[in-house]
Amino acid sequence: MVQAHTQIVRSSRLLAVFFLAAGLLFGAPAFAQTKDNSAEQVLTLVRSANDAFDAKDYSKAYDLYLQANTIRPEPVILFRLAQTAEELQRPRAAIEHYEAFVALESKGDAAKRARTRITALRATLPALVRIDSTPQGASVFLGSSESKPLGKTPVEIDVEAGEATFVVTFPSHEPATKTVMLRAGTEQALSFELLEADPVEGDEADLITRSPEQGDAVDSPIPFVAEKTKVVPPPAEESSTLATWGWVTVGTGVAVLAAGGAFSILQMSATEDVNSYNKRATGASPAGIDQLKDDANGYHTMALVSYIAGGVIAAAGVGILAYDAMNRGDDTAASVQGPSFKLDVGVVRSGGWLGVNGRF
């Protein structure tokens, strides 16, 4: 495909000067009447453009071909313009020049080649979307308003084929959204009518206008916030995270203490079984009573550990609550002259207890 395209370029270059010279030769009487000798100027421009094309200076070649075509539009110049635009990676310009060539030369091999190139180039093009809005100057986004803005209306945007969502925003107006299906190489126009947003109501300060002091240049009224405004009370203080953790800790300690109580009940039941064990009963054995004693001792140990751990955890929770209350500094705390707590903890061989008295 690359070889074929290169051969077309070389063949077209050889034919360019030939056909152009022939056209200028037969049209010489008309050119002879011009004051600036445009025929020679066009030939000079085309030769220079060909040289620049061969040197791969495509930007210079394109500008020279464009100048020659402006002086005298010729199909061969249009074909060369299209080829040069392809080298410059300007597919839309190339398509435009090929279409202009076909409009003048609709028959022949060159016209067939031009149509083939038009089809091939269109397949590589993204969709061209023209976006406008009322009012103009709105920001355009692809996908969502959180993405990078693509420009302000009116604007032209190249977008990959497929489904695309456009969002248009403008200050003090409601955003507008449209989703369209785009095809490669096509053009589509989108228009957005932006509605003014509803005025903000509530306790916000009213905006008024005033003019600058005398002697200042006045282009338009200057907006400012009135001195007398309603003071919006601050939002209610959210629940203290520290206090939450304090209550959770206290609850955990109480739960562990409750587990200690359960172990104490089991220990007392096992102790009762040991005391009432009948050594002379059928099936009684020293191993049986030893097992009951081990159970009673194990329950006692678990109860003791639970009481100690639960007391420590609950005390830590109370400490957290006390610290939070002392640092809260709100009106309620001030009215009761700060928090007051009383913690009673007791652990004995047969059980334990925890008492918490306080003002929160």
Residues 161-200: tens digit of each pLDDT: 899 999 999 999 999 999 999 988 888 999 999 999 987 6
Alpha-carbon gap, residue 159 to 129, rounded angstroms? 7
Task: Record the pTM.
Answer: 0.40
Mean pLDDT of 73-82: 92
Listing from the earlier edge strand, what are the strands of the sheet with 187-193? 155-159, 127-134, 187-193
Pairing state between β 127-134 and 187-193 = parallel
Per the model's pLDDT, the better-predicted residue between 271 and 37 turns out to be 271
Per the model's pLDDT, the better-predicted residue between 329 and 276 turns out to be 276
Give every CB contact of residue 337 below 8 A, 6+ residues apart in sequence.
none
Q: Name the pLDDT band for 95 (thresholds 50, 70, 90).
A: very high
Dihedral through CA 60, CA 61, CA 63, CA 68, nearest 10? 140
Q: Name the pLDDT band for 30 (thresholds 50, 70, 90).
A: very low
Residues constituting the chain: 360
Tell me the domains of the chain and their CATH numbers.
Answer: 2-123 (1.25.40.10), 127-193 (2.60.40.10), 241-359 (no CATH)
Q: Which two tokens stand for residue 281?
A: 């009963």
Q: Name the pLDDT band for 210 (thresholds 50, 70, 90).
A: very low
Distance in angstroms between the alpha carbons of the first and the last residue of the chain: 86
Alpha-carbon gap, residue 186 to 118, rounded angstroms? 13
In this predicted structure, what is the pLDDT of residue 225? 40
In this predicted structure, what is the pLDDT of residue 234? 44
Question: pLDDT (tens digit, 9 = 90+) per residue, 217-274?
Answer: 444 444 434 344 444 444 444 446 878 887 888 889 888 888 888 888 988 888 887 7
Question: pLDDT (tens digit, 9 = 90+) per residue, 309-348?
Answer: 888 898 888 888 788 777 765 444 444 444 455 555 555 5
Alpha-carbon gap, residue 299 to 264, rounded angstroms? 7
